[in-house]
Protein backbone atom coordinates (compact mmCIF):
# COMPACT_ATOMS: atom_id res chain seq x y z
CA UNK A 1 0.00 0.00 0.00
CA UNK A 2 1.19 3.50 -0.77
CA UNK A 3 2.55 5.42 2.23
CA UNK A 4 0.59 8.57 1.29
CA UNK A 5 -2.85 8.25 2.78
CA UNK A 6 -5.61 8.45 0.19
CA UNK A 7 -8.35 10.95 1.08
CA UNK A 8 -10.91 8.14 1.12
CA UNK A 9 -8.92 6.48 3.89
CA UNK A 10 -9.31 9.52 6.12
CA UNK A 11 -12.85 8.48 6.94
CA UNK A 12 -13.19 4.78 7.37
CA UNK A 13 -14.80 2.50 6.48
CA UNK A 14 -15.28 3.25 2.80
CA UNK A 15 -18.60 2.12 1.33
CA UNK A 16 -17.80 0.37 -1.95
CA UNK A 17 -21.29 1.17 -3.22
CA UNK A 18 -20.67 4.87 -2.75
CA UNK A 19 -17.24 5.70 -4.10
CA UNK A 20 -17.03 7.18 -7.56
CA UNK A 21 -15.65 5.14 -10.41
CA UNK A 22 -12.67 7.50 -10.54
CA UNK A 23 -12.04 7.06 -6.83
CA UNK A 24 -12.44 3.32 -7.27
CA UNK A 25 -9.22 3.13 -9.28
CA UNK A 26 -7.33 5.46 -6.93
CA UNK A 27 -8.57 3.55 -3.90
CA UNK A 28 -7.42 0.18 -5.17
CA UNK A 29 -4.13 1.67 -6.36
CA UNK A 30 -3.52 2.72 -2.77
CA UNK A 31 -4.50 -0.70 -1.49
CA UNK A 32 -2.06 -2.23 -3.95
CA UNK A 33 -4.66 -4.39 -5.69
CA UNK A 34 -3.77 -5.66 -9.15
CA UNK A 35 -6.13 -5.09 -12.07
CA UNK A 36 -7.65 -8.57 -11.96
CA UNK A 37 -8.31 -8.36 -8.21
CA UNK A 38 -10.00 -4.98 -8.43
CA UNK A 39 -12.05 -6.31 -11.34
CA UNK A 40 -13.15 -9.22 -9.13
CA UNK A 41 -14.27 -6.76 -6.48
CA UNK A 42 -16.08 -4.61 -9.05
CA UNK A 43 -17.96 -7.58 -10.51
CA UNK A 44 -18.85 -8.93 -7.08
CA UNK A 45 -20.18 -5.56 -5.95
CA UNK A 46 -22.00 -4.36 -9.07
CA UNK A 47 -22.87 -7.57 -10.91
CA UNK A 48 -23.28 -10.20 -8.20
CA UNK A 49 -24.51 -7.77 -5.57
CA UNK A 50 -22.62 -9.36 -2.68
CA UNK A 51 -23.61 -7.87 0.65
CA UNK A 52 -20.23 -7.98 2.39
CA UNK A 53 -16.50 -8.00 1.68
CA UNK A 54 -16.39 -11.63 2.85
CA UNK A 55 -18.64 -12.58 -0.04
CA UNK A 56 -16.22 -11.39 -2.74
CA UNK A 57 -14.85 -14.48 -4.48
CA UNK A 58 -11.38 -14.97 -5.89
CA UNK A 59 -9.33 -12.70 -3.58
CA UNK A 60 -6.25 -13.85 -1.72
CA UNK A 61 -6.41 -14.05 2.08
CA UNK A 62 -4.21 -10.95 2.36
CA UNK A 63 -6.32 -8.97 -0.09
CA UNK A 64 -9.54 -9.91 1.64
CA UNK A 65 -8.15 -8.95 5.07
CA UNK A 66 -6.71 -5.71 3.79
CA UNK A 67 -9.99 -4.78 2.12
CA UNK A 68 -12.08 -5.78 5.15
CA UNK A 69 -10.03 -3.39 7.31
CA UNK A 70 -11.01 -0.34 5.29
CA UNK A 71 -14.15 -1.11 3.29
CA UNK A 72 -17.76 -2.17 3.78
CA UNK A 73 -20.67 -2.74 1.44
CA UNK A 74 -23.73 -0.89 2.67
CA UNK A 75 -26.29 -2.94 0.80
CA UNK A 76 -29.97 -2.11 1.01
CA UNK A 77 -32.00 -4.61 3.01
CA UNK A 78 -35.52 -5.94 2.48
CA UNK A 79 -38.15 -4.26 0.41
CA UNK A 80 -41.90 -3.92 0.61
CA UNK A 81 -44.18 -4.06 -2.37
CA UNK A 82 -47.63 -2.49 -2.78
CA UNK A 83 -49.84 -2.95 -5.81
CA UNK A 84 -52.22 -0.27 -6.96
CA UNK A 85 -55.70 -0.91 -8.34
CA UNK A 86 -54.44 0.45 -11.66
CA UNK A 87 -51.72 -2.24 -11.82
CA UNK A 88 -48.72 -0.11 -10.88
CA UNK A 89 -46.42 -1.07 -8.01
CA UNK A 90 -44.63 0.85 -5.32
CA UNK A 91 -41.41 -0.77 -4.16
CA UNK A 92 -40.00 0.54 -0.90
CA UNK A 93 -36.38 -0.33 -0.28
CA UNK A 94 -35.08 -0.20 3.28
CA UNK A 95 -31.55 1.22 3.20
CA UNK A 96 -28.68 0.40 5.56
CA UNK A 97 -29.32 3.49 7.70
CA UNK A 98 -33.08 2.95 7.92
CA UNK A 99 -33.93 5.46 5.19
CA UNK A 100 -36.47 4.39 2.60
CA UNK A 101 -36.06 4.65 -1.15
CA UNK A 102 -39.16 4.53 -3.33
CA UNK A 103 -39.41 3.02 -6.77
CA UNK A 104 -42.58 3.02 -8.85
CA UNK A 105 -43.16 0.32 -11.46
CA UNK A 106 -45.70 0.98 -14.18
CA UNK A 107 -46.84 -1.69 -16.60
CA UNK A 108 -48.79 -0.37 -19.58
CA UNK A 109 -51.15 -2.51 -21.64
CA UNK A 110 -52.66 -1.94 -25.06
CA UNK A 111 -55.48 -4.22 -26.20
CA UNK A 112 -54.70 -6.65 -23.40
CA UNK A 113 -51.00 -6.83 -24.35
CA UNK A 114 -48.27 -5.56 -22.08
CA UNK A 115 -46.44 -3.12 -24.37
CA UNK A 116 -44.20 -1.32 -21.89
CA UNK A 117 -43.03 -1.83 -18.34
CA UNK A 118 -41.11 1.00 -16.76
CA UNK A 119 -39.58 1.82 -13.40
CA UNK A 120 -39.06 5.26 -11.94
CA UNK A 121 -36.29 5.30 -9.35
CA UNK A 122 -35.45 7.76 -6.61
CA UNK A 123 -32.12 9.55 -6.57
CA UNK A 124 -32.25 11.22 -3.15
CA UNK A 125 -33.98 10.89 0.18
CA UNK A 126 -36.12 14.02 0.21
CA UNK A 127 -35.17 16.96 -1.94
CA UNK A 128 -33.41 20.25 -1.52
CA UNK A 129 -35.53 22.29 -3.91
CA UNK A 130 -38.95 22.54 -2.24
CA UNK A 131 -41.24 22.87 -5.26
CA UNK A 132 -44.68 23.96 -4.08
CA UNK A 133 -46.58 21.12 -5.71
CA UNK A 134 -44.30 18.30 -4.57
CA UNK A 135 -44.66 16.10 -1.52
CA UNK A 136 -40.98 15.13 -1.66
CA UNK A 137 -39.96 18.77 -1.49
CA UNK A 138 -41.88 19.05 1.79
CA UNK A 139 -39.63 16.42 3.36
CA UNK A 140 -36.53 18.57 3.07
CA UNK A 141 -33.25 17.07 1.94
CA UNK A 142 -31.88 14.09 3.86
CA UNK A 143 -29.18 12.59 1.70
CA UNK A 144 -28.09 11.46 -1.73
CA UNK A 145 -28.50 7.84 -2.69
CA UNK A 146 -25.28 6.00 -3.48
CA UNK A 147 -24.50 4.53 -6.89
CA UNK A 148 -25.15 1.09 -5.40
CA UNK A 149 -28.52 2.15 -4.01
CA UNK A 150 -29.56 3.48 -7.41
CA UNK A 151 -28.56 0.23 -9.08
CA UNK A 152 -30.22 -1.84 -6.40
CA UNK A 153 -33.56 -0.13 -7.07
CA UNK A 154 -33.20 -1.10 -10.72
CA UNK A 155 -32.24 -4.68 -9.88
CA UNK A 156 -35.16 -5.14 -7.46
CA UNK A 157 -37.58 -3.57 -9.94
CA UNK A 158 -36.39 -6.06 -12.55
CA UNK A 159 -36.94 -8.91 -10.10
CA UNK A 160 -40.45 -7.72 -9.30
CA UNK A 161 -41.33 -7.31 -12.97
CA UNK A 162 -40.12 -10.82 -13.75
CA UNK A 163 -41.89 -12.39 -10.80
CA UNK A 164 -45.17 -10.49 -11.02
CA UNK A 165 -45.51 -9.94 -14.75
CA UNK A 166 -43.19 -12.48 -16.31
CA UNK A 167 -41.57 -9.84 -18.48
CA UNK A 168 -38.55 -7.52 -18.57
CA UNK A 169 -38.20 -3.92 -17.58
CA UNK A 170 -38.35 -1.97 -20.84
CA UNK A 171 -37.73 1.61 -19.69
CA UNK A 172 -36.06 3.29 -16.76
CA UNK A 173 -36.66 6.83 -15.49
CA UNK A 174 -34.63 8.78 -12.96
CA UNK A 175 -37.76 10.55 -11.78
CA UNK A 176 -38.58 9.39 -8.29
CA UNK A 177 -37.85 11.23 -5.09
CA UNK A 178 -35.18 13.88 -5.41
CA UNK A 179 -33.50 15.77 -8.22
CA UNK A 180 -31.22 13.34 -10.12
CA UNK A 181 -28.94 16.07 -11.43
CA UNK A 182 -28.34 17.24 -7.86
CA UNK A 183 -26.80 13.82 -7.28
CA UNK A 184 -25.02 13.87 -10.61
CA UNK A 185 -21.93 11.88 -9.70
CA UNK A 186 -23.83 8.83 -8.44
CA UNK A 187 -26.38 9.02 -11.28
CA UNK A 188 -23.62 9.32 -13.88
CA UNK A 189 -21.70 6.39 -12.38
CA UNK A 190 -24.87 4.27 -12.32
CA UNK A 191 -25.45 5.09 -16.00
CA UNK A 192 -21.84 4.12 -16.79
CA UNK A 193 -22.19 0.82 -14.94
CA UNK A 194 -25.51 0.08 -16.66
CA UNK A 195 -23.81 0.20 -20.06
CA UNK A 196 -22.45 -3.22 -19.16
CA UNK A 197 -24.89 -5.95 -20.26
CA UNK A 198 -24.11 -7.79 -16.99
CA UNK A 199 -25.46 -4.87 -14.95
CA UNK A 200 -29.17 -4.32 -14.30
CA UNK A 201 -31.27 -1.97 -16.39
CA UNK A 202 -32.58 -1.58 -19.95
CA UNK A 203 -30.32 -0.30 -22.77
CA UNK A 204 -29.16 3.33 -22.37
CA UNK A 205 -31.47 4.56 -25.14
CA UNK A 206 -34.40 3.54 -22.96
CA UNK A 207 -33.20 5.40 -19.92
CA UNK A 208 -34.38 8.95 -19.20
CA UNK A 209 -32.93 11.37 -16.69
CA UNK A 210 -35.23 14.12 -15.52
CA UNK A 211 -34.36 17.50 -14.08
CA UNK A 212 -35.91 20.77 -13.01
CA UNK A 213 -33.35 22.40 -15.29
CA UNK A 214 -29.90 22.17 -13.70
CA UNK A 215 -28.32 23.48 -16.86
CA UNK A 216 -24.68 22.71 -16.09
CA UNK A 217 -25.54 19.09 -15.44
CA UNK A 218 -27.68 18.95 -18.61
CA UNK A 219 -24.53 19.85 -20.53
CA UNK A 220 -22.49 17.29 -18.58
CA UNK A 221 -25.07 14.60 -19.28
CA UNK A 222 -24.95 15.40 -23.00
CA UNK A 223 -21.18 14.87 -22.98
CA UNK A 224 -20.96 11.96 -20.55
CA UNK A 225 -24.05 10.01 -21.63
CA UNK A 226 -25.22 11.13 -25.07
CA UNK A 227 -27.22 7.93 -25.50
CA UNK A 228 -29.45 8.65 -22.50
CA UNK A 229 -32.65 10.66 -22.91
CA UNK A 230 -33.44 13.92 -21.18
CA UNK A 231 -36.66 15.26 -19.67
CA UNK A 232 -36.85 18.78 -18.31
CA UNK A 233 -39.67 20.02 -16.11
CA UNK A 234 -40.55 23.56 -17.08
CA UNK A 235 -44.06 23.94 -15.58
CA UNK A 236 -44.13 27.62 -16.52
CA UNK A 237 -42.34 29.61 -19.20
CA UNK A 238 -42.79 32.78 -17.17
CA UNK A 239 -39.74 33.30 -14.93
CA UNK A 240 -41.67 34.92 -12.07
CA UNK A 241 -44.46 32.36 -12.08
CA UNK A 242 -41.93 29.57 -12.30
CA UNK A 243 -40.11 31.01 -9.33
CA UNK A 244 -43.34 31.04 -7.31
CA UNK A 245 -43.98 27.35 -7.87
CA UNK A 246 -40.32 26.28 -8.07
CA UNK A 247 -38.14 28.42 -5.79
CA UNK A 248 -35.00 26.90 -7.31
CA UNK A 249 -35.84 28.95 -10.42
CA UNK A 250 -34.14 31.94 -8.81
CA UNK A 251 -30.88 30.20 -9.71
CA UNK A 252 -32.08 28.50 -12.87
CA UNK A 253 -32.90 31.08 -15.49
CA UNK A 254 -35.18 29.95 -18.29
CA UNK A 255 -32.76 31.32 -20.96
CA UNK A 256 -29.87 29.27 -19.52
CA UNK A 257 -32.05 26.15 -19.44
CA UNK A 258 -33.02 26.68 -23.07
CA UNK A 259 -29.37 27.15 -24.06
CA UNK A 260 -28.56 23.86 -22.33
CA UNK A 261 -31.43 22.15 -24.16
CA UNK A 262 -30.07 23.39 -27.48
CA UNK A 263 -26.59 22.19 -26.50
CA UNK A 264 -27.97 18.78 -25.51
CA UNK A 265 -29.81 18.44 -28.79
CA UNK A 266 -26.74 19.39 -30.82
CA UNK A 267 -24.53 16.98 -28.89
CA UNK A 268 -26.86 14.00 -28.84
CA UNK A 269 -29.25 14.46 -31.75
CA UNK A 270 -32.09 13.44 -29.46
CA UNK A 271 -35.34 15.20 -28.76
CA UNK A 272 -35.88 16.24 -25.15
CA UNK A 273 -39.20 15.88 -23.39
CA UNK A 274 -40.54 19.07 -21.85
CA UNK A 275 -42.68 18.23 -18.86
CA UNK A 276 -45.44 20.53 -17.77
CA UNK A 277 -47.55 19.89 -14.71
CA UNK A 278 -50.92 21.50 -15.31
CA UNK A 279 -52.42 23.12 -12.20
CA UNK A 280 -55.73 24.89 -12.09
CA UNK A 281 -55.51 28.69 -12.15
CA UNK A 282 -51.75 28.51 -11.76
CA UNK A 283 -50.36 27.71 -15.20
CA UNK A 284 -53.25 26.41 -17.29
CA UNK A 285 -54.42 29.53 -19.17
CA UNK A 286 -54.11 29.87 -22.95
CA UNK A 287 -51.60 32.63 -22.28
CA UNK A 288 -49.45 30.13 -20.37
CA UNK A 289 -49.55 27.76 -23.34
CA UNK A 290 -48.58 30.57 -25.70
CA UNK A 291 -45.70 31.50 -23.38
CA UNK A 292 -44.47 27.93 -23.56
CA UNK A 293 -44.69 27.91 -27.36
CA UNK A 294 -42.73 31.16 -27.51
CA UNK A 295 -40.14 29.83 -25.08
CA UNK A 296 -39.55 26.62 -27.00
CA UNK A 297 -39.43 28.47 -30.32
CA UNK A 298 -37.73 26.32 -32.91
CA UNK A 299 -36.41 23.76 -30.42
CA UNK A 300 -37.30 20.23 -31.50
CA UNK A 301 -39.07 18.94 -28.40
CA UNK A 302 -42.04 16.88 -27.32
CA UNK A 303 -44.28 18.10 -24.52
CA UNK A 304 -45.78 15.91 -21.83
CA UNK A 305 -48.66 17.50 -19.98
CA UNK A 306 -48.95 15.95 -16.55
CA UNK A 307 -52.23 15.83 -14.73
CA UNK A 308 -51.78 17.01 -11.18
CA UNK A 309 -52.57 14.72 -8.26
CA UNK A 310 -54.29 16.81 -5.64
CA UNK A 311 -52.16 17.13 -2.52
CA UNK A 312 -54.38 18.76 0.13
CA UNK A 313 -51.55 20.49 1.97
CA UNK A 314 -50.32 22.12 -1.23
CA UNK A 315 -53.67 23.83 -1.89
CA UNK A 316 -53.37 23.07 -5.60
CA UNK A 317 -55.83 21.35 -7.92
CA UNK A 318 -55.92 19.47 -11.17
CA UNK A 319 -57.11 21.53 -14.12
CA UNK A 320 -60.43 20.87 -15.79
CA UNK A 321 -60.48 18.86 -18.98
CA UNK A 322 -61.63 21.76 -21.18
CA UNK A 323 -58.67 23.86 -20.08
CA UNK A 324 -56.25 21.02 -20.67
CA UNK A 325 -57.70 20.41 -24.14
CA UNK A 326 -57.34 24.09 -25.01
CA UNK A 327 -53.79 24.15 -23.68
CA UNK A 328 -52.89 21.07 -25.67
CA UNK A 329 -54.38 22.45 -28.88
CA UNK A 330 -52.25 25.58 -28.72
CA UNK A 331 -49.12 23.46 -28.45
CA UNK A 332 -50.22 21.13 -31.23
CA UNK A 333 -51.12 24.01 -33.51
CA UNK A 334 -47.58 25.30 -33.01
CA UNK A 335 -46.22 21.94 -34.17
CA UNK A 336 -45.23 20.33 -30.87
CA UNK A 337 -46.12 16.69 -30.29
CA UNK A 338 -48.09 16.49 -27.04
CA UNK A 339 -48.62 13.56 -24.75
CA UNK A 340 -51.05 13.75 -21.84
CA UNK A 341 -50.20 11.66 -18.87
CA UNK A 342 -52.41 10.61 -16.05
CA UNK A 343 -50.84 9.56 -12.81
CA UNK A 344 -50.62 5.98 -11.71
CA UNK A 345 -50.73 4.56 -8.25
CA UNK A 346 -52.77 7.27 -6.56
CA UNK A 347 -54.30 4.76 -4.14
CA UNK A 348 -50.84 3.70 -2.96
CA UNK A 349 -49.50 7.26 -2.79
CA UNK A 350 -47.18 6.66 -5.70
CA UNK A 351 -48.79 9.15 -8.01
CA UNK A 352 -47.36 12.40 -9.28
CA UNK A 353 -46.10 14.64 -6.56
CA UNK A 354 -47.16 12.22 -3.87
CA UNK A 355 -43.91 10.51 -3.18
CA UNK A 356 -42.82 11.24 0.31
CA UNK A 357 -41.53 9.00 3.01
CA UNK A 358 -43.84 9.12 6.00
CA UNK A 359 -43.02 7.36 9.19
CA UNK A 360 -45.10 6.77 12.22
CA UNK A 361 -43.48 7.20 15.62
CA UNK A 362 -42.89 3.46 15.70
CA UNK A 363 -41.46 3.50 12.18
CA UNK A 364 -44.02 0.97 11.15
CA UNK A 365 -46.05 2.69 8.54
CA UNK A 366 -44.40 3.53 5.32
CA UNK A 367 -46.33 5.73 3.00
CA UNK A 368 -44.21 6.14 -0.03
CA UNK A 369 -44.56 8.79 -2.56
CA UNK A 370 -42.79 10.36 -5.43
CA UNK A 371 -40.99 13.51 -6.26
CA UNK A 372 -42.31 15.38 -9.19
CA UNK A 373 -39.84 17.44 -11.10
CA UNK A 374 -40.56 15.15 -13.94
CA UNK A 375 -43.87 13.66 -13.22
CA UNK A 376 -42.68 10.94 -10.98
CA UNK A 377 -45.03 8.05 -11.26
CA UNK A 378 -45.87 9.26 -14.70
CA UNK A 379 -43.88 7.59 -17.41
CA UNK A 380 -43.51 10.16 -20.15
CA UNK A 381 -43.27 8.88 -23.64
CA UNK A 382 -39.88 9.87 -25.06
CA UNK A 383 -40.40 12.79 -27.38
CA UNK A 384 -39.22 10.73 -30.35
CA UNK A 385 -42.11 8.33 -29.74
CA UNK A 386 -44.78 10.98 -29.52
**272 near ligand SF4, rule: CB under 6 A:** no
**372 near ligand SF4, rule: CB under 6 A:** yes
Interatomic CA distance for residues 319 and 281, integer angstroms: 8
CB of 130 to ligand SF4, least distance (A): 5
CB of 137 to ligand SF4, least distance (A): 3
Contact 345, 351 (CB under 8 A): yes
Beta carbon nearer to ligand SF4, 31 or 343: 343
Interatomic CA distance for residues 185 and 383, integer angstroms: 26
Beta-strand relationship, 171-174 and 229-233: unpaired
CB of 364 to ligand SF4, least distance (A): 25
CB of 322 to ligand SF4, least distance (A): 26
Q: Which helix (H) or strand (E) holds 215?
A: helix 215-224
Active-site residue, 287 included: no
Half-sphere exposure of 105 (CA within 13 A, CB side): 27
**178 near ligand SF4, rule: CB under 6 A:** yes
How far out from the chain centre does Cα 287 lie?
31
**89 near ligand SF4, rule: CB under 6 A:** no
**380 near ligand SF4, rule: CB under 6 A:** no
Interatomic CA distance for residues 152 and 178, integer angstroms: 17
Burial 101-127 (b: 16+ CB within 10 A, else e): bbbbbbbbeeeeeeebbbbbbbbbbbb
CB of 211 to ligand SF4, least distance (A): 8
Give the residue, chosen from 179, 288, 339, 346, that forms a contact with ligand SF4 under the rule CB under 6 A.
179
Give the residue, chosen from 73, 212, 234, 292, that forms a contact with ligand SF4 under the rule CB under 6 A.
212
Q: 3-class SS at 151?
A: helix
Phi/psi at 22 (5° precision): -65, -45
Active-site residue, 134 included: no
The site that binds ligand SF4 (CB under 6 A) totals a number of residues, namely 13
CB within 8 Å of 75: residues ≥ 6 apart? 17, 49, 51, 52, 96, 148, 152
CB of 207 to ligand SF4, least distance (A): 18
DSSP string, 54-116: GG-TT--HHHHHHHHHHEE------EEEEE-TTS-EEEEEEPTTS-EEEEEEEEEEETTEEEE
Beta carbon nearer to ligand SF4, 106 or 372: 372
Beta carbon nearer to ligand SF4, 213 or 302: 213
- Of 382, 305, 368, whose CA–CA distance to 338 is shortest? 305
**373 near ligand SF4, rule: CB under 6 A:** yes
Stretch that binds ligand SF4, among 30-38, 357-365, 367-375, 377-385 (CB under 6 A): 367-375
Beta-strand relationship, 89-94 and 100-110: antiparallel
Beta carbon nearer to ligand SF4, 126 or 382: 126
Beta carbon nearer to ligand SF4, 14 or 214: 214
Beta carbon nearer to ligand SF4, 128 or 263: 128
Map the footprint of ligand SF4 across residues 109-148, applying CB under 6 A: 127, 129-131, 134, 136-137
**282 near ligand SF4, rule: CB under 6 A:** no
CB of 176 to ligand SF4, least distance (A): 8
DSSP assigned state of 119: E
Which is catalytic among the residues 63, 102, 158, 179?
102
Give residues in contact with ligand SF4 (CB under 6 A): 127, 129-131, 134, 136-137, 178-179, 212, 371-373
What residues act catalytically?
102, 352
Amino acid sequence: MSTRKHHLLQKLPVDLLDISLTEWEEFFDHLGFHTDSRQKVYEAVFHRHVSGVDGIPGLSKEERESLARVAVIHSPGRHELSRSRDGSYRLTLVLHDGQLAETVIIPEWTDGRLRKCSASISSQIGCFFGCSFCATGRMGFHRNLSTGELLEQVRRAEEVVRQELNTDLTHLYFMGMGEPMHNYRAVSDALTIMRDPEAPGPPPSRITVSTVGLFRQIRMLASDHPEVRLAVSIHSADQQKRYEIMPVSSKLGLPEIRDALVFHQRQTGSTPTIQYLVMEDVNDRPEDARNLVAYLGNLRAGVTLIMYNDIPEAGLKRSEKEKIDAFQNILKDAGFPVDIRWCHGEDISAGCGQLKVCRSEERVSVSMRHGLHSGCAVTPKPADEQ
